[in-house]
Structure 1
Amino acid sequence: MKLHEHPTKLLAALAEGSARIMSATIRFERGRWFVSFTVEQSLPELTPARPDAAIGVDLGIKTLATISEGPPVENPRHYIQAQQKLARLSRRVSRRRGPDRRSGQAASKRWQRANAQRNRVHHHVADQRRDAIHKLTTRLASTYATVVVEDLNVTGMMSNRRLARHVADAGFGEFRRQLEYKAERFGSRVIVADRWFPSSKTCSGCGAVKAKLLLSERDYVCKTCDLIMDRDANAARNLVALAVAASSAETLNGRRADQKTRVTGQVAEKRQPGTASAPQARTPSPEGAGV
């Protein structure tokens, strides 16, 4: 079953009459049956544990999430860890007599058993990845009133053959999906930074913006204020600064806390008094995913 909470909670709500099932969708995938429910339910109004706190989250491959406060969340790399086992099972499947649509040949029972074993490993990896993301997104949405993330170009990253497998294993799209619906549930807000916002190139100390930052540079070194720190931690601090800017722009005008917000502002570049800032070139930041 595909549910946003434990099945026992749904059963209790159905028994109390506070929820009703509107529809159910059944599908067969990789040898397993799934059912997804659409439920109409009255939920209590929740508030985050820290209603005045904001946090910036910089997603990456080596480190799944670097947050503006607290230790980074390591990427468990479930698929990478299961690669050898999957390769061994795939070789076993290829040695069996599989189905052939052209000749109408049916798969042998040995092929079906071997393929089912491989599918179980794929499901286990997907379940592990989803569980890790669930724990992280629940902690963020239930603790902080505002969570700021980047608008990552996941499709473009997947087109890179060297990164595609690692991007898929990290689950950036699933992270964003879970965070947004949980923010509504807990009464928090998700701010999505503009895709062109140079979070990694901007100094979180003085606001100076680097013209170029190589992927191999894992530490951010500011030549203006001499700040030296991890590049992903620096990006997370710049993201949380957007929450402050967004709150100032809204001036507490009664906007609902669970709304999703897109911010396109830039952090100002440090310059000498009386001089105009140079226009920022709108080029995508390849280091946005914290590779």
Structure 2
Amino acid sequence: MIVTQAYRFALDPTERQVGALLRHAGAARVAYNWALARVKANLSQREAEKSYGIEDLTPSFGWSMYSLRKAWNQAKNDVAPWWAQCSKEAYTTGLDQLATGLRNWSDSRNGGRKGRPMGFPRFKSKHKAVKSCRFTTGVIRLEGRTHVVLPVLGRIRTHESTRKLARRIENGTARIKSATVRLDAGRWYVSFSVEVERSDPTPRRPDAVIGVDLGVKTLAVFSDGRPPVENPKHYDHALRKLRRLSRTVSRRAGPDRRIGRHPSKRWLRANDQRNKVHHRIADLRRDGIHKLTTELAREYGTIVVEDLNVAGMVKNRRLARVVSDAGFGEIRRQLAYKTVWNGGRLEVADRWFPSSKTCSHCRAVRPKLPLRVRTFTCGHCGLIIDRDENAALNLASLVKRHVAGSGPETRNGRGADRKTGPGPAGGYEASTSHRPPGRIRRGPLPSDGQIPEIH
């Protein structure tokens, strides 16, 4: 099995190499802004000619990366006489970013792209734009365990050992496709996009099915009785420190576009201290999620999660901070590709599947179950169980009944008469309009094992 995997390493460049890295990132920004100005000028010219009733319009400016690169090569001597100081990949990086942004904007307008409407690309600021550059051609290799070699930039020392990737390359099971250098939190990183050949993996328990219920109070509750994962709440724990640092930043002379004021040195130092706390929170969250998802993907053959409406959750001002801190979307994203790497599969239950309101013992459905009620009590069979554990059991049983071929697994708890079988991993987590809940008929469990009908 061949997969595309990323390897990221921190760099320790010299002062001269830092200047070269910044020069390449600036070259990408210059090419991006130049091409965007050409595109906007061409669109404005054509709109003006249409308003005057001119039939023979100015030819349109090509938006593809190849058209932009051809136009750049024709004008680079006048636009950037210093272009030879940087690799050609730096300018291609900016042009490719613009071509992607224009394509996304066009597809969004024409209905060919899901999700929120995409805005028209904007110019990149020298001070605010992400400093990065991508290399796809030229000399891209590892040198020993402590150095990388990139086009024009040459040999750069790494802050950490590259032995994991070097071993695969030496064994002939990996091939570097591209490399991206990026300035993040004051440190330069290089990310290699690698084509990795993996042996056919098998989870330790290939026939095991586990339901994972994600929540705010407890990050993950499992259906097989293993201890739940408590929500670490990294942001909440650092909130006091962030407030203190934010007050310090607010007392310094910061940037102000209205009067053209540049930030003071003291403001920049205070802002860097605050940013370090934010980056540490993100690193802790990413590390915890990686450990959780890797352990699940290596252990179980089938993992079942819910299709949570994360975009709708963050619109609730009472839940936005804790939902964002938990990282529900990142957990599902990592499970999607790690299950493939480890030979398992990820099943996603329908968004309207009433996992919390369904009794895991008799399959009866409660009409309402507020979030403040943390214990599920079944009025039909008398089962008393933790709300999250009950939801995890329902998720696991959903796949088991689906595999057994028992027909429709459930009826929708909000009044929609639809099947709720597990779906493939992925998809778009968009906000969905809510409909009033229907009434649930209570009664004995039908003979076919389905949940009682909705009236």
Q: Deviations over 1:24-82 (max 9, x none)?
A: 23333454444332111111221100111010000000100011121111000000000
CA RMSD of aligned residues (A): 2.5
Normalising by structure 2, report the TM-score.
Answer: 0.55
Q: Are residues 1:42 and 2:197 paired?
A: yes
- Using a 3 Å threshold, how does the CA distance of structure 1 residues 56 and 245 change in structure 2: closer, same or farther? same
Equivalent residue, structure 2, for 1:185: 341
Equivalent residue, structure 2, for 1:3: 7
Q: Deviations over 1:163-204 (max 9, x none)?
A: 000001101011011111110110111010000000000000
Stretch of structure 1 that moved more, 148-157 or 34-43: 34-43
Q: Are residues 1:170 and 2:326 paired?
A: yes
- Does the residue aligned with 1:25 lie in a helix, a strand or coil? strand
Structure 1 residue 206, shift from structure 2 partner: 0.6
Equivalent residue, structure 2, for 1:139: 295
Q: Are residues 1:260 and 2:424 paired?
A: yes
Equivalent residue, structure 2, for 1:100: 256
- Does the residue aligned with 2:7 lie in a helix, a strand or coil? coil
Determine if contact 1:62/1:75 at 8 Å carries over to the other structure: yes
Determine if contact 2:365/2:452 at 8 Å carries over to the other structure: no
Distance 2:397 2:162 in 1: 39
Structure 1 residue 17, shift from structure 2 partner: 3.1
Equivalent residue, structure 1, for 2:212: 57
Normalising by structure 1, report the TM-score.
Answer: 0.84
Distance 2:285 2:320 in 1: 16
Distance 1:30 1:9 in 2: 24
Structure 1 residue 249, shift from structure 2 partner: 3.8
Equivalent residue, structure 2, for 1:160: 316
- Using a 3 Å threshold, how does the CA distance of structure 1 residues 7 and 164 change in structure 2: closer, same or farther? farther
Equivalent residue, structure 2, for 1:149: 305
Q: Structure 2: any 5+ residue segments left out of the alignment?
A: 1-5, 10-160, 407-422, 427-440
Letter in 1 for 2:233: R
Determine if contact 2:8/2:189 at 8 Å carries over to the other structure: no
- Using a 3 Å threshold, how does the CA distance of structure 1 residues 168 and 143 change in structure 2: closer, same or farther? same
Equivalent residue, structure 2, for 1:116: 272
- Using a 3 Å threshold, how does the CA distance of structure 1 residues 270 and 114 change in structure 2: closer, same or farther? same
Distance 1:102 1:32 in 2: 31
Distance 1:38 1:53 in 2: 32
Determine if contact 1:25/1:36 at 8 Å carries over to the other structure: yes
Equivalent residue, structure 1, for 2:373: 217
Determine if contact 2:380/2:442 at 8 Å carries over to the other structure: no
Letter in 2 for 1:278: E
Determine if contact 1:148/1:192 at 8 Å carries over to the other structure: yes
- Does the residue aligned with 1:220 lie in a helix, a strand or coil? strand
Letter in 1 for 2:206: P
* Greater Rg over alpha carbons, structure: 2
- Using a 3 Å threshold, how does the CA distance of structure 1 residues 245 and 273 change in structure 2: closer, same or farther? closer
Following superposition, which runs of at least 4 residues in structure 1 exceed 6 angstroms of deviation?
none
Letter in 1 for 2:7: L
Determine if contact 2:245/2:274 at 8 Å carries over to the other structure: yes
- Does the residue aligned with 1:41 lie in a helix, a strand or coil? strand
- Using a 3 Å threshold, how does the CA distance of structure 1 residues 198 and 278 change in structure 2: closer, same or farther? same
Q: Structure 1: any 5+ residue segments left out of the alignment?
A: 251-258, 263-267, 281-291
- Does the residue aligned with 2:303 lie in a helix, a strand or coil? strand
Q: Are residues 1:206 and 2:210 paired?
A: no
- Does the residue aligned with 2:454 lie in a helix, a strand or coil? coil
Letter in 2 for 1:67: F
- Does the residue aligned with 2:248 lie in a helix, a strand or coil? helix
Letter in 1 for 2:205: R
Distance 2:197 2:326 in 1: 33
Distance 1:71 1:58 in 2: 13
Equivalent residue, structure 2, for 1:287: none
Equivalent residue, structure 1, for 2:133: none
Letter in 1 for 2:454: P
Equivalent residue, structure 2, for 1:288: none
Letter in 1 for 2:242: L
Equivalent residue, structure 1, for 2:284: 128
1:66-81 equivalences in 2 (<5 Å): 66-69=221-224, 70-81=226-237
Q: Deviations over 1:233-286 (max 9, x none)?
A: 000000000121232249xxxxxxxx9359xxxxx9863669x94337xxxxxx
Distance 1:239 1:227 in 2: 17
Letter in 2 for 1:169: D
Stretch of structure 1 that moved more, 178-187 or 24-33: 24-33
Letter in 1 for 2:315: S
Determine if contact 1:206/1:270 at 8 Å carries over to the other structure: no
Equivalent residue, structure 1, for 2:453: 278
Determine if contact 1:56/1:67 at 8 Å carries over to the other structure: yes
